Structure 1
């Protein structure tokens, strides 16, 4: 009779019979956990993407502490929306569109570097040595050709690096693109990114700001632990959402999602290697002393 593991998702149950090495490798892979906060943000982004084009399109700035899940949410939304195939009813030909484009902001505020980062997504030849005007013209043409409706810029706080003039130039370049094509901008960054909007009062008036805070020690956090436990390939239930485990995990992670993921991965790895096959209070305590050297931050 096949052993079942009701504490795990069905797709994870099949993984439990794999070797220790395979299970540990899985722990370090990127993963998507559709917790409520993430689902709500993706719903907002979906609504923004589907809105009709208008003269002053709405835009969004998503901010939060470093390593708190912002990029993971955005990449999941982008995975769902970066390309779309449309069949022409007359010619029966299939056309590919790019509703959303995701880039990481250049290291400093630089208009030309912004155009180059966006052009890279179209897999067409262009010369980085061309003038800003020529690169902008080519970019506008491609955005129209592929029906792009949203530009997503991760690490947008990078635009704070550079002179005030450079910051204004890159933000004005974005404003010009949105005005001409009537598309939305979504920026993702730390809380400092709000300062980017104040290079010009017009920028601030176009952006809604959504904050992704660290987690409180509450029912939502405990539900998050339930979701995590269902994807950790351990043969025995750990009951991570129990009061003692949840309190300890929150104390170590400071409610930071990335830090929580790190500690749970290390605990699960230890449980696999030791043969315990569950994360106990003692397992969690093993990693409490690793906070300073593992890059885990405690938020007071």
Structure 2
């Protein structure tokens, strides 16, 4: 499913990959997908990875070549040390890591394998877990920078509010920011006609994915404002409430979603807070009672 964010991110990824492929003497550029929780950062990053994988296999005629891996994906664990960070890549590759192996040794092994596999896009998810204000975190960030410098690959980071995290702070953060393009993913708003239409298109796009036998196509368009109120414009919350509503409709045999079904479907706590706050703002202020003249 295409959104304005995925379109913009896909375009910027293609530009960055082409730029890095033509550059050999200067530091390669990276990409960062940032935003609050539930904005679809990981989903967008994985979509970019899948598309790049297919495009590279098609371009090079290596569709079924298992010795070729254009894309590598790893998740930054909390309280990351250099060895744990590199081990995340080793785990994705299926490489055994001896217990007594040093971070440098594991890095050498991983870099060698990625070069052999022809990896050109490295996705690092949950990048906000990479802190630099502690010794271990600072060493992990330094290891990651050296790791990126040694690979002919573009790095794509995804995480919560990355510009405000330790990753972009301090001396190491200044070096990372100097070579990073940040794409901010924000919740949808419905203040203008164009914004309302964009949100309605998103609702209909998610609706189209629901396998409901008795559901009338595009019938959720009229409920788009209500769904924005329930989700706060979060694509993750929208997908969750419609998926749960669809599951409920399948379980009870109605096979359709209407307003009653939506009202009976729970959402995450952050969305509930937004709904309650928005409801309070829409309620007219109560008039104070007038005192009777004595």
TM normalised by structure 1 equals: 0.76
Change (3 A) 1:297 1:214: farther
Structure 1 runs of 4+ aligned residues shifted over 6 Å read none
Aligned counterparts, 1:169-248, within 5 A: 169-192=139-162, 194-195=164-165, 196-199=167-170, 200=172, 201-217=174-190, 218-234=196-212, 235-237=214-216, 239-242=219-222, 245-248=223-226
Greater mean alpha carbon deviation, residues 172-181 or residues 130-139: 172-181
- Relative contact order, higher structure (CA 8 A, sep 6+): 1
- Secondary structure of 1:216's match? coil
How far apart in 2 are the matches of 1:133 and 1:269? 48
Which residue of structure 2 aligns with residue 40 of structure 1? 8
| CA apart distance, 1:192 | 4.5
User: Does the CA-based 8 Å contact 2:237-2:267 persist in structure 1?
Assistant: no
User: Does the CA-based 8 Å contact 2:33-2:183 persist in structure 1?
Assistant: yes
How far apart in 2 are the matches of 1:206 and 1:214? 26
User: Does the CA-based 8 Å contact 1:105-1:156 persist in structure 2?
Assistant: yes
User: Does the CA-based 8 Å contact 1:226-1:241 persist in structure 2?
Assistant: yes
Q: What do residues 250-271 of structure 1 show as CA deviations (whole Å, max 9, x unaligned)?
A: 1111111121112112222333
Which residue of structure 2 aligns with residue 253 of structure 1? 231
Matched, 1:64 2:32: no
How far apart in 2 are the matches of 1:140 and 1:101? 12
Count of residues paired in the alignment = 258
Greater mean alpha carbon deviation, residues 245-254 or residues 183-192: 183-192
Matched, 1:167 2:146: no
Which residue of structure 2 aligns with residue 271 of structure 1? 249
| CA apart distance, 1:291 | 4.2
| CA apart distance, 1:79 | 2.5
User: Does the CA-based 8 Å contact 1:110-1:167 persist in structure 2?
Assistant: yes
Pairwise CA RMSD: 2.6
1:146 to 111, 117, 139: 117
| CA apart distance, 1:182 | 4.2
How far apart in 1 are the matches of 2:34 and 2:156? 11
| CA apart distance, 1:205 | 0.5
User: Does the CA-based 8 Å contact 1:154-1:188 persist in structure 2?
Assistant: yes
- Secondary structure of 1:240's match? helix
Q: What do residues 95-151 of structure 1 show as CA deviations (whole Å, max 9, x unaligned)?
A: 732222110002223111111111223334432420122112112212221222222
Greater mean alpha carbon deviation, residues 48-57 or residues 148-157: 48-57
Change (3 A) 1:202 1:271: same
Which residue of structure 2 aligns with residue 119 of structure 1? 90
User: Does the CA-based 8 Å contact 1:150-1:185 persist in structure 2?
Assistant: yes
- Secondary structure of 2:5's match? helix
User: Does the CA-based 8 Å contact 1:251-1:298 persist in structure 2?
Assistant: no
TM normalised by structure 2 equals: 0.78
User: Does the CA-based 8 Å contact 1:106-1:114 persist in structure 2?
Assistant: yes
How far apart in 2 are the matches of 1:123 and 1:81? 21
Which residue of structure 2 aligns with residue 3 of structure 1? none
